[in-house]
Amino acid sequence: MAIKIAFYDTKPYDRVWFDEYNKEYGFEITYFEHKLNNATARTSSGFDVVCTFVNDTLDAEVLQILLDNHIRLIALRCAGFNNVDLKFICDKIPVVRVPAYSPNSVAEHAIAMLLTLVRNLQHAYVRTREFNFSLGNLIGFDLHGKTVGVIGTGKIGRAFISICKGFGMKVLAVDGFQDDSLGVEYSDLDTVLRNADVVSLHCPLTKDSYHMISREKLAMMKSSAILINTSRGALVDSIALADAIQTKKLGGAALDVYEEESNLFYEDNSFSIITDDTLIRLISMPNVLVTSHQAFLTKEALQAIAATTLKSVNDYFTDGTVENSVCYKTVKA
């Protein structure tokens, strides 16, 4: 009997490559557009595996429902797992993830957002669409010779550093595990924030990193500095960020993530009234660029996500292997 997988929070671009790579395995896949949460978790009944994404909820309440429905494996088709109550679930159901799908896709998106912001390309695009070819208020600045602070030098951080070096930027880095082969200067967070012209976040969200960019930390940064976040929204205190930009204590921000994004991103809200005042403030600012958690969205990344996720499912049900586990202990199939 084929293994049954329930996919949550899916879009058409998810299905293309999962359907393609599933030809090798023959799993019985059902795609749900709704997110996994306490209101929808009971739809997992009859399945062997649930496959979730970044904004699905896997707290103790939801996980208990999955247990009651006899789910045997949780497969995260993403790298982050801050939305999973690991303490509750790790000795009950194995949880696997995609630890590295395409570091270059996220790093390149961060650079694309940075270039767009510092050269005012978003405003230039709108102008020329209206045949307005004036250059007023479009003055940017060179990246060459500037200092970039990279918070987190894992695979994505390293890819970002490589690009920055190509622009001739000086790199300051923060990470508990220093990689001397990168040829960058490691320092503490406060020193980096005080000296960097650009700060880019490439670290996971944990209880220790929650709001690591706080009101106090933002006050340390140069008034001309640019903050980039392509990691997790809650790394940044969004209200403090909006205040800092509005009062001209920060030069601008490029955000691919937002701490209250779960009910907004990936959906068409163009005919809805947005009630999140902080997000409205940020998007309305001319020196803030927001994209909807799309940094991962390349063909190469989607292929890697599908291939890794389905292989993890196959390995577990074939011989009990849990290669990409996020748990400190594993449960046998």
The verdict on residue 325 lying in a domain is no
The verdict on residue 333 lying in a domain is no
| Tokens coding 276 | 């999140």
φ/ψ of 101, rounded to 5, equals -100, -50
pLDDT digits (tens, 9 = 90+) for 191-229: 999 999 999 999 999 999 999 999 999 999 999 999 999
The answer to whether residues 51 and 9 belong to one domain is yes
Amino acid at the residue 232: R
Q: Which of 77, 97, 158, 232 is catalytic?
A: 232
Q: Residue 7: what pLDDT? A: 98
| 3-class DSSP assignment, residue 193 | helix
The verdict on residue 331 lying in a domain is no
Q: Which of 129, 261, 281, 300 is catalytic?
A: 261
CA distance 55 to 52: 8
**CATH for 249:** 3.40.50.720
Tell me the pLDDT band of 238, cut-offs 50, 70 and 90. Answer: very high
CB 171 within 8 A of CB 161: yes
The answer to whether residues 154 and 188 belong to one domain is yes
| Structure-token match 């594993």, residue found | 330
Active site residue 232: yes
> Per-residue pLDDT for 333 more than 70?
no
| Tokens coding 106 | 């996220």
The answer to whether residues 166 and 91 belong to one domain is no
Q: Residue 102: what pLDDT? A: 87
> Per-residue pLDDT for 49 more than 80?
yes
> Per-residue pLDDT for 172 more than 70?
yes
The answer to whether residues 61 and 188 belong to one domain is no
The verdict on residue 68 lying in a domain is yes
The answer to whether residues 141 and 165 belong to one domain is yes
The answer to whether residues 277 and 309 belong to one domain is no
Active site residue 323: no
The answer to whether residues 304 and 163 belong to one domain is no
Q: Please report the beta strands in 32-143, taking only residues with DSSP state E, as ranges in sequence order.
A: 49-52, 73-76, 95-96
The tally of domains found in the chain comes to 2
> Per-residue pLDDT for 332 more than 60?
no
Mean pLDDT to the nearest integer, 250-270: 94
The answer to whether residues 240 and 115 belong to one domain is yes
Q: Which residues pair with 236 in a beta bridge?
A: 213
Q: Residue 79: what pLDDT? A: 87
The verdict on residue 52 lying in a domain is yes
The answer to whether residues 80 and 141 belong to one domain is no
Active site residue 127: no
Tell me the pLDDT band of 310, cut-offs 50, 70 and 90. Answer: very high
CB 49 within 8 A of CB 7: no
The answer to whether residues 303 and 285 belong to one domain is no
Tell me the pLDDT band of 331, cut-offs 50, 70 and 90. Answer: low
The verdict on residue 160 lying in a domain is yes
Tell me the pLDDT band of 263, cut-offs 50, 70 and 90. Answer: confident
Mean predicted lDDT score pLDDT of the chain:
95
The verdict on residue 29 lying in a domain is yes
pLDDT digits (tens, 9 = 90+) for 80-137: 898 999 999 999 999 999 988 889 999 999 999 999 999 999 999 999 999 999 999 9
The answer to whether residues 236 and 149 belong to one domain is yes
Mean pLDDT to the nearest integer, 163-190: 97
The answer to whether residues 216 and 285 belong to one domain is yes
Helix spans in 167-276 (H)? 189-195, 215-220, 238-246
The verdict on residue 324 lying in a domain is no
Q: Which of 109, 293, 300, 323 is catalytic?
A: 293
Maximum Cα–Cα distance for the chain, whole Å?
A: 66
Q: Which of 20, 18, 24 is CA-nearest to residue 51?
A: 18
> Per-residue pLDDT for 329 more than 70?
no
Q: Is the pTM value of this prediction over 0.75?
A: yes
Q: Kindly report the three-state secondary structure assignment for every residue of the chain.
A: CCCEEEECCCCHHHHHHHHHHHHHCCCEEEECCCCCCCCCHHHHCCCCEEEECCCCCECHHHHHHHHHCCCCEEEECCCCCCCECHHHHCCCCCEECCCCCCHHHHHHHHHHHHHHHHCCHHHHHHHHHCCCCCCCCCCCCCCCCCEEEEECCCHHHHHHHHHHHHCCCEEEEECCCCCHHHCCEECCHHHHHHHCCEEEECCCCCCCCCCCECHHHHHHCCCCCEEEECCCHHHECHHHHHHHHHCCCCCEEEECCCCCCCCCCCCCCCCCCCCCHHHHHHHHCCCEEECCCCCCCCHHHHHHHHHHHHHHHHHHHHHCCCCCECCCCCCCC
Q: Residue 130: what pLDDT? A: 97
- Domain extent for 241: 103-290
